[in-house]
């Protein structure tokens, strides 16, 4: 039998736009893994997603599993036979379960000892049989945030299922899912081609559906969205620039099957609104794209992308304009009302805003992280502490404004806008916006030093506060975004080049939380430091640092983000060089000897070292101790590591010619003291005992 092609499509009610990416990634990963485990190789796989469907195509799927010989291990030999050599129930039960006699069993040696085993032939199954089990299981395990039930409640999926297309090698695959039985039929665009369309292979899937006004390929559909926006702008002779928003492009792409754009306009009186307010009203309420003029000022136009082409698009345009006018009227009302009160005068209202019932009000939170920010400013030598204090006083005031209540994503953005309109210093206004940054993984970091300090203080107060009252992330649950906050703090330290330790900052934050804490400060400190250590290790390994190198550094420098990252990168570079394993073995030998005999921190009788090898090593150690300060001050860890690596020759010579465990206790003590000094040099980089040399 030749290889087979599979086309599978699940037709449903419209799936929320944000659900597609995780579902498609899961489908691809799970299917590749499952087919591998099922011994069914294939040539190519593609996953499709559109609002009313999820599809997958497989090309060149092996038609039949190969027959295999497998060894099944049973009970331990000691339990398989009694004292007279007769098989026990364990042996006979195992044999019966495998369909063989006890005489067919053999003895195998495993890491745990000797066990009974049987080698048996497993006949391969046909691909349709395997897929009949595999595909419904794949669909039922798709990771949607929420599922719904329909009918009498017996079916559950992200949205009600209407049809199931499943064709393998031209024949319907006899499967069902959520009440839908497989066939060869899909359906086109809900309005433009609601009828059935027959599809029998993955090769014709995209083409046949495109004929029915459904573009199932996300990349092609996204390009259609962009082209439609350009067309609508060009055909209306509007020389304007689209406000770039890739997030909105992605969302709109996942809301449509065949995009059709239309250009609308609105009254120029709305141009008095700040750009962020107008664009947010367009985006969050209507999924419209905003336009600006050549100076970056809001233009009285917008682009709406529709899911169907009407007979009269002017009617569609007017409908969009009518809806947007109502939204902009609301935004203008809130903005106008907000301007009646200065931003600074709203601070008192924060006393009525609960940050968390276990951690007080937003006013109290501001008081805490304001003190923490001023403390950090002293540590990093930040000038203009008066502007930092002013920014701290203002940074949460926009939470009680009408615009932010209507559009929560504008917190910080509106604070900046209102601060500037009130005549606050530009540095203060910018810091109000920046203190929320970064708002996502890999997002923009605070550009200004004031914003960076304020951001760290706010995030660290939240992290320490949550840990102090037991609100600790578990599994995937992290309602206060503490993981993102910790990673944001780490990235700010790296971006600003701050070499300072987190531990004193954590202690300062915990001092401010004394009245709220529900666990001892020491316990909270340890938990917070471990939390940062995990984030820091993930960041390092994500940048190509091996796990053992990251662990070796973090075992000594887990509270110093910049120092840890620079050391780990230097160590990883050294690991890639020839001969590193031998070098690491030498380092580990030194560390192990120190652990065995105990370090000697106070020692001065170096005249006890009389052999040439130990005197040479002592001289090299003293020389590097003198130079190490400059390396550390400049952050030249590659240079320091190179100097440390050059010690291998003298260390090898020392171990070849010198017995550390000398019968003379005074000589032994001197040699251990020498190795202790050497170990302390190693610890300027990492704990080399944690480096893998396998």
Residues of the chain with CATH 1.10.730: 566-690
Do the Cβ atoms of 390 and 424 come closer than 8 Å?
yes
Q: Which CATH number is 4-64+126-210's, of 3.40.50.1220, 2.40.128.20, 3.90.79.10, 3.30.70.260?
A: 3.30.70.260
Q: Which residues of the chain have pLDDT under 70?
A: 1, 238, 694
| C-alpha R_g of the chain | 34
Q: What is the pLDDT of residue 314?
A: 92
Rounded to whole angstroms, how far apart are CA atoms 218 and 159? 20
For 348-363, what is each residue's pLDDT tens digit?
Answer: 999 999 999 999 999 9
Residues of the chain with CATH 1.10.3210: 357-542
Q: What is the pLDDT of residue 691?
A: 85
Q: 3-state DSSP helix/strand/coil percent for the chain, to nearest 5?
A: 55, 15, 30
Q: What is the pLDDT of residue 228?
A: 94
Give the count of beta carbons closer than 10 Å to the beta carbon of residue 493.
24
**DSSP-assigned letters across all residues of 52-107:** TEEEEEEEEE-SBPPPEEEEEEEEEHHHHB-TTS-B-HHHHHHHHHHTS-GGG-EE
DSSP 8-state assignment for residue 14: P
Q: What is the pLDDT of residue 694?
A: 65
Residues of the chain with CATH 3.30.70.260: 4-64+126-210
> Could you tell me which CATH class the domain 566-690 is placed in?
mainly alpha
At residue 675, what are phi and psi to the nearest 5 degrees? -65, -30
Domain 357-542 has CATH 3.10.150: no
For 158-173, what is each residue's pLDDT tens digit?
Answer: 999 999 999 999 999 9
């Amino acid at each position: 039998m030749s290889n087979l092609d599979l086309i599978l499509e699940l037709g449903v009610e419209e799936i929320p736009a944000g659900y597609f990416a995780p579902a498609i990634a899961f489908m691809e990963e799970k299917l590749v893994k499952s087919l591998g485990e099922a011994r069914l190789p294939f040539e190519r796989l593609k996953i499709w997603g559109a609002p009313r469907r999820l599809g997958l195509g497989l090309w060149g799927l092996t038609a039949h599993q190969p027959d295999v010989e497998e060894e099944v291990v049973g009970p331990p030999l000691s339990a398989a036979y009694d004292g007279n050599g007769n098989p026990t129930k364990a042996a006979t039960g195992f044999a019966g379960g495998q369909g063989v006699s006890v005489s067919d069993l053999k003895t195998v040696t495993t890491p745990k000892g000797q066990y009974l085993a049987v080698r048996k032939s497993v006949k391969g199954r046909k691909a349709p049989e395997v897929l009949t089990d595999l595909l419904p299981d794949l669909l039922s395990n798709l990771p949607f945030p929420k599922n719904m039930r329909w009918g009498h409640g017996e079916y559950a999926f992200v949205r009600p299922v209407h049809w199931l297309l499943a064709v393998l090698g031209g024949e319907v695959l006899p499967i069902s899912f959520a009440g839908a039985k497989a066939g060869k039929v899909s359906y086109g665009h809900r309005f433009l081609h609601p009828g059935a369309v027959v599809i029998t292979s993955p090769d014709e899937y995209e083409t046949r559906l495109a004929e029915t006004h459904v573009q199932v390929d996300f990349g092609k559909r996204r390009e259609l969205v962009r082209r439609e926006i350009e067309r609508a702008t060009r055909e209306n002779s509007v020389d304007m620039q689209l406000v770039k928003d890739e997030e909105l492009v992605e969302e709109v792409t996942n809301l449509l099957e065949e995009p059709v754009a239309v250009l609308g306009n609105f009254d120029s009186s709305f141009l008095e609104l700040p750009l962020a307010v107008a664009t947010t009203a367009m985006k969050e309420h209507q999924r419209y794209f905003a336009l600006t003029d050549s100076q970056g000022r809001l233009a009285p136009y917008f682009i709406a992308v529709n899911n169907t082409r009407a007979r009269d698009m002017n009617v569609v345009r007017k409908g969009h304009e009518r809806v947007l006018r109502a939204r902009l009227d609301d935004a203008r009302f809130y903005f106008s009302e907000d301007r009646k009160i200065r931003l600074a005068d709203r601070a008192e209202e924060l006393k009525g805003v609960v940050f968390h019932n276990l951690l007080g009000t937003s006013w109290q939170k501001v008081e805490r992280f304001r003190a923490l920010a001023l403390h950090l400013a002293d540590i990093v030598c930040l000038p203009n502490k008066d502007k930092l204090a002013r920014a701290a006083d203002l940074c949460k005031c926009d939470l009680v404004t009408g615009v932010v209540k209507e559009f929560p994503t504008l917190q910080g953005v509106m604070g900046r806008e209102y601060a500037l309109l009130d005549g606050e210093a530009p540095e203060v206004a910018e810091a109000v916006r920046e203190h929320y940054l970064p708002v996502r993984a890999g997002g923009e970091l605070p550009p200004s030093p004031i914003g960076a300090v304020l951001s760290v203080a706010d995030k660290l107060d939240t992290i320490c506060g949550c840990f102090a009252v037991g609100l600790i992330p578990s599994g995937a649950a992290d309602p206060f975004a503490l993981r993102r906050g910790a990673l944001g703090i780490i990235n700010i330290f790296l971006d600003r080049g701050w070499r300072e330790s987190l531990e004193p900052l954590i202690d300062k934050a915990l001092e401010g939380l004394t009245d709220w804490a529900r666990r001892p400060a020491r316990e909270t400190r340890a938990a917070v430091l471990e939390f940062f250590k995990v984030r820091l290790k993930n960041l390092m390994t994500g940048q190509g640092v091996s796990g053992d190198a990251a662990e070796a550094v973090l075992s000594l420098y887990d509270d110093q983000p910049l120092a840890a990252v620079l050391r780990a990168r230097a160590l990883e570079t050294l690991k890639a060089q020839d001969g590193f394993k031998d070098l690491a073995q030498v380092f580990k030998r030194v560390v192990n000897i120190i652990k065995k005999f105990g370090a000697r921190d106070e020692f001065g009788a170096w005249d006890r070292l009389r052999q040439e090898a130990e005197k040479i090593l002592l001289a090299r150690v003293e020389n590097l101790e003198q130079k190490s300060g400059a390396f550390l001050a400049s952050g030249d860890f590659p240079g320091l590591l190179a100097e440390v690596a050059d010690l291998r020759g003298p260390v090898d010579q020392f171990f070849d010619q010198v017995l550390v465990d000398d019968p003379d206790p005074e000589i032994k003590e001197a040699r251990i003291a020498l190795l202790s000094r050497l170990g302390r040099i190693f610890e300027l980089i990492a704990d080399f005992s944690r480096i893998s040399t396998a």
